[in-house]
Structure 1
Amino acid sequence: MPKRPPEATPIPDSSLRPNMHKPGAPLPDEPTPLLGNRTPRQFMRRYWQKKPLLIRQAFPGMKAPLSRDELFELADLDDVESRLITHFRDTWNMEHGPFASDELPAVKKREWTLLVQGVNLHDDRAAALMNCFRFIPDARLDDLMISYATDGGGVGPHFDSYDVFLLQVHGKRRWRFGAQRDLSLKPDMPLKVLQHFEPEEEWVLEPGDMLYLPPHIAHDGIAEGECMTCSIGFRAPSTRELTAQFLYHLAERMGDTPANAKAQARYRDPQQEPVTKPALLPQLLLDRVGSILADIKWTEKDIAAFLGSYLSEPKANVVFDPPERALNQKKFVERAKKAGLTLDRKTILLYDKTSYFVNGEAEALTARAKKWLPELADARCLEGKRFVTLTDDSSMTSLLHEWYCAGWIKLDSLI
């Protein structure tokens, strides 16, 4: 096992632990070092999806949320997405994990990078760090990736189709970037490397420094010595993806009920004439199917139901861990009154005016649920004292116990 670099010590548990009283993100009009002493409102209006921003000491005194050894151990897990990118002898190569520690190149060898996706799903410190960016809607937040690189390591000049915050947490990385128009890629490559990279700016980031890049800004990051970088990425589904998933969502909800009898009706063509060109698509078929498709209508409620379910659906590799010996409902309530509870790192809980969406499931937001569920979704926790005030609602305690047994929420140890 390689030795841990002294600078890559884990962050103390208290330094990035999610606040039990409010979300970790700054308030909309609260200046914060995270954004260069700008308010989130100023950042969103001036920079979000508009132009890059370099922020020196966004996190003063920053240390890596995971040590090198801890990151290597994470990359060895089956349910963690990881990639190894090398640039040995001027040749790019990429492999997909999991990787045992002895399968990785030596840490003294130059020009290789380990990328570990979704670290926030597996580590409280990484989840707390990502929590600082919740001034942007959860529906847009994707994950926190950690990139470990040896000297000269990188993934080549490229662009992303989504917004990203690049936070340096250990060592130094030199970033070159620019809003170039030519986004053509080198052919026959295992990576999406730009064919003609023309950077306009260049900065060296040290621990605590952060670079925000909107979509399609070309960039290239090269490690200067051993380094680690956290990338906070955002979801940006394509129009094609959204269209396909939404139409599938609509079709799925056309159930075999009397109310949907029209949707279940079979195609009929009693006026069809005999043909002499049997392989030709008949005009009657085109007209009839066109009429059927034109009759498909949807409302804002349908769109919200789709987005809530789609965006709260866990990724394919996400696995929840139920408690080994789950408490019964009575003991669960007693414990929650004292200790409070938190959403599991992997749980996605969203809501709108009429519904809530948890891990891909949609349910009606009842008048009773409105008293506590939005609070739980926004803060991702309920303190014990707050839980006590809600226990007269048996439907709530029953639902939360069900989520607890599924591993979707955890009983917190703080009182």
Structure 2
Amino acid sequence: MGDLAPRTFLRDYWQRKPLLVRQAFAGIRAPLDAEELAGLALESDVPSRLVQQHDAARWSVRYGPFEDSDFAALPDTHWTLLVTDLEKFVPALHDLVKPFRFLPDWRIDDLMISYAAPQGSVGPHTDAYDVFLLQLEGRRRWQIDTRPVDPGNRLPGAELSILAHFEPESEWVLEPGDMLYLPPGVAHYGLALDPCMTASIGFRAPSQQDLVSAWLDDVAAALDPERRFGDAGRAVADNPGEIDLASRDAIIALMREALARDDVALERWFGRYITEPRADLIGLYLAPDNWDEAALGAQLASGRGLKRNTAARLAYFIRDDRLFLYADGQEYPLDMNFLEPVAVLCQRFDYPAALCRRLLDDAPGSAGLMVNLLERGILEAVE
């Protein structure tokens, strides 16, 4: 964040106003070239898209996987290739995400890298989430407008949500190492001045609608399908078209019973929900080996440690002297003596053998937890 301490950035800029940081990553080199990025876009499980501008009002978007012929047919200008979730598919690229872990992991969504031909863009638009835009290669001009955007301000007939009217308040040209932070809702327009590559580190911001919908799905799945409304001993209906008060009260009581959850239950549901992996990322997990505590001990005795699958999501919280660990949607209620190994597992992505042996010695029972995570592919053996 340049000269800003993380706490100052969070206090003055995070979700408040944009920030341009010149040479935030001084001397940075793009971690992969355009050909390698295009090669990833050929893969069936890697999310990718091609955005092309045909004229001022005509844009098109195509979704991968692509063929070599798709790239060979592109013009020299006015197109952009975007590849998302790269830190999950190429673990080495997680190094671009690590500097932003002064924010909690559950808020971090993914790393996207885009390659743009000269004049390439995705048009002026807004995002519903925070994003850091890091220039990796070439030059890109960014224009922003912090004024509120009319919901109806959209280019008619476009597949993309592009603003029909955009008047910039500020403008900068970013070169390799420069970074622009944008809070949600800020209109922005990036245009490649020459062939360029940009990394976008985006953050999750679940909507109220998404949260409630997912929670209700979870509630419904856990209900007894045989639990039904009943009205034994009811009075004769004065008018068969009336929903009488007793029936209304009984229905409301039945629903309130189903929805009754205390704060702890909601917190525990959120831990499972926010760490649940996407179905399209399951292929990133290695086929499980036959792990047990003896195999774990042998791995560590050889001097080889463990590492975390960069596609896995880990999180924990403490409530009423109980520790709750969440790993890819599964909950592990634990005693507080597990706090140190859980904190280390969630904080790091590499676990040297000496560190693992110390954790196992200091927290009896943690070997079983590590074996379970190894069997699920959340932890992996260092070869």
TM, length-normalised to structure 2: 0.90
Structure 1 distance, partners of 2:209, 2:5, is 34
Structure 2: gaps (5+ residues): none
Is the CA contact 1:182–1:196 (under 8 Å) kept in the aligned structure 2? no
1:339 maps onto 2:301 in alignment: no
Q: Which amino acid aligns with 1:385?
A: A
1:356 maps to which residue? 325
What does 1:138-149 correspond to in 2, within 5 Å? 138-149=105-116
1:193 maps onto 2:154 in alignment: no
User: SS of the counterpart of 1:57?
Assistant: coil
1:411 maps onto 2:369 in alignment: no
2:25 maps to which residue? 59
**What is the CA-CA distance between 1:329 and the residue it aligns to?**
4.5
CA distances 1:207-259 after superposition (whole Å, capped 9, x unpaired): 100000000000000011111110000111111111111223334445x5xxx
User: SS of the counterpart of 1:202?
Assistant: strand
2:70 maps to which residue? 103
Q: Which amino acid aligns with 2:279?
A: A
**What is the CA-CA distance between 1:120 and the residue it aligns to?**
0.7
Q: Which structure is higher in helix share?
A: 2
Q: Which amino acid aligns with 1:349?
A: L
User: SS of the counterpart of 1:161?
Assistant: coil
Structure 2 distance, partners of 1:324, 1:308, is 24
95 and 282 in structure 1: CA distance in 2 versus 1, 3 angstrom threshold = farther
CA distances 1:344-382 after superposition (whole Å, capped 9, x unpaired): 111111001121100011120223422311111112332
71 and 275 in structure 1: CA distance in 2 versus 1, 3 angstrom threshold = farther
Structure 1 distance, partners of 2:254, 2:375, is 44
Q: Which amino acid aligns with 1:133?
A: F
Structure 2 distance, partners of 1:204, 1:130, is 23
Is the CA contact 1:158–1:193 (under 8 Å) kept in the aligned structure 2? yes
**What is the CA-CA distance between 1:288 and the residue it aligns to?**
2.3
1:70 is aligned, of 30, 36, 47, to 36
2:94 maps to which residue? 127
1:313 maps to which residue? 276
**What is the CA-CA distance between 1:138 and the residue it aligns to?**
0.8
Is the CA contact 1:75–1:97 (under 8 Å) kept in the aligned structure 2? yes
**What is the CA-CA distance between 1:198 and the residue it aligns to?**
1.7
**What is the CA-CA distance between 1:324 and the residue it aligns to?**
7.9
2:251 maps to which residue? 289
1:49 maps onto 2:18 in alignment: no
Structure 1 distance, partners of 2:245, 2:31, is 64
1:268 maps onto 2:235 in alignment: no
235 and 207 in structure 1: CA distance in 2 versus 1, 3 angstrom threshold = same
Structure 1 distance, partners of 2:236, 2:168, is 65
**What is the CA-CA distance between 1:283 and the residue it aligns to?**
4.9
1:212 maps to which residue? 181
Query: Which is worse superposed, 332-341 or 318-327?
Result: 318-327
Structure 1 distance, partners of 2:238, 2:199, is 65
Structure 1 distance, partners of 2:149, 2:378, is 45
**What is the CA-CA distance between 1:327 and the residue it aligns to?**
6.2
Structure 2 distance, partners of 1:88, 1:275, is 69
Structure 2 distance, partners of 1:59, 1:384, is 31
Aligned residues: 371
What does 1:29-44 correspond to in 2, within 5 Å? 35-44=1-10
**What is the CA-CA distance between 1:401 and the residue it aligns to?**
2.6
Query: Which is worse superposed, 322-331 or 35-44?
Result: 322-331
Structure 1: gaps (5+ residues): 1-34, 257-262
1:87 maps to which residue? 53
User: SS of the counterpart of 2:96?
Assistant: helix
What does 1:317-328 correspond to in 2, within 5 Å? 317-318=280-281, 319-322=283-286
Structure 1 distance, partners of 2:165, 2:275, is 38
What does 1:356-375 correspond to in 2, within 5 Å? 356-375=325-344
**What is the CA-CA distance between 1:409 and the residue it aligns to?**
1.2
Structure 2 distance, partners of 1:182, 1:85, is 23
Structure 2 distance, partners of 1:224, 1:61, is 20
Is the CA contact 2:41–2:47 (under 8 Å) kept in the aligned structure 1? yes
CA distances 1:303-359 after superposition (whole Å, capped 9, x unpaired): 211111111011121023325866664233222341221111111110011211000
What's the C-alpha RMSD, in Å, of the aligned pairs?
2.3
96 and 111 in structure 1: CA distance in 2 versus 1, 3 angstrom threshold = same
Structure 1 distance, partners of 2:145, 2:55, is 27
